Amino acid sequence: MRRTTSLILLALAVFFTALSPLLRWYAFPRLAKIPANQYQDMVLEAKDATLLDYGTMRAKQVPEVTIVQTLKGNVEASDRIEKTAGKDVVVWDGLSYVQGPDGKMVSRIPERYIFDAHSQEPVHATGETVDGDPVKREGIEFKWPFLTEKRDYEYFDAQTRTTNPIHYKGTRTFRGVHVYYFEQTIPWTKVPFPKTMPVQGITPESVARTGTTRWYTTVRRFWVEPVTGAPVYGEEIHKEELRGGTLLGGRDRVTAFAGHVKMREDYIGHTVALVKHNRTVVLLLTSYLPWGFLALGLVLLSLSLYLEARGRRPADPAPAQAAEPEPVSA
């Protein structure tokens, strides 16, 4: 009986010990993925910003500019691309909608981002666009990989349609969450006008005929939770200018937008709570269960060896009976 129990414990020890690396290196890449149907939105604000008045073509101070960013998973498109990509693919149809303090549109830029569901690496396929223009992304956008490392990454900028390094700047704590801080600076770069202009009848083509060009620079900052790779907070110091041409009435340049763009407070709280939950799920696959199963395997192995040793120990000899004393005759 003791030997049978020992063999059962040994089998369980082998099972759980083998399961430990399988969870980390086999199950984790296949289970930790961005859902294809995910939908999320984010509201950012720039207080006391500078905004161009297209009626007078002069910059003015406004109390607030609001940016609404939405990302909607396109399941139909991802299923179609997966057939040729040979991997799980996510297609995000994004929209960055900027409005002034009066609620009127300032700019509206759609984009389609196609990427690997686990690694977040771009997947190049038909439909990969920014504001209707075909692009070929390199590097990440919106989200870092699971198990983010302390190093620089390549990050895609939708305004310039280029990829530039975003630099790791150290470890911090944000709202009780351990995060990595990243920062990217895009120098002044000539960028295209949005396809949808804020004034009826004005198109990028009509502006281009005046000789006026659009320029942009930003300092982009992210606080990233490293286990999930999800930013818990982000902000930009964003500036845009119109330069040259007859549209400016002889002026060299005019500010189209300038402001410190930050996440709205209610969205910060929601994002932090969501990331904390997802962090626990990822840690189950990468740390808690693998290490727990390894420790359980070692305990079961120890018990098996102990019972086996007890089973092989020889039995104690029976005590000898005292001999009957011989009768003594007188």
Give dist(CA 54, CA 206) in Å, integer: 14
Choose among 213, 220, 212, 155: nearest CA to 187.
Answer: 220
Whole-number pLDDT of residue 235? 96
Whole-number pLDDT of residue 330? 42
Angle at 184 between CA 180 and CA 185, to 5 degrees: 155
Whole-number pLDDT of residue 117? 93
Give dist(CA 47, CA 61) in Å, integer: 10
Per-residue pLDDT of the chain (330 residues; tens, 9 = 90+): 667 887 888 888 888 888 888 988 888 888 899 999 999 999 999 999 999 988 888 999 999 999 999 999 999 999 999 988 889 999 999 999 999 998 899 999 999 999 999 999 999 999 999 999 999 999 999 999 999 999 999 999 999 999 999 999 999 999 999 999 999 999 999 999 999 988 888 888 888 889 999 999 999 999 999 999 999 999 999 999 999 988 888 889 999 999 999 999 999 999 999 999 999 999 999 998 999 999 998 998 888 888 777 776 665 555 555 555 555 554
Give dist(CA 197, CA 203) in Å, integer: 6
The pair of three-digit structure tokens given for residue 237, joined into one six-digit string: 């110091």
Whole-number pLDDT of residue 11? 87
Whole-number pLDDT of residue 313? 62
Longest Cα–Cα distance in the chain: 150
Whole-number pLDDT of residue 129? 95
Whole-number pLDDT of residue 315? 54
Contact (CB, 8 A) for 258 and 50: yes
Give dist(CA 137, CA 146) in Å, integer: 19
Contact (CB, 8 A) for 182 and 202: no
Whole-number pLDDT of residue 221? 97
Please give the model's pTM, rounded to 2 decimal places. 0.87
Give dist(CA 65, CA 62) in Å, integer: 7
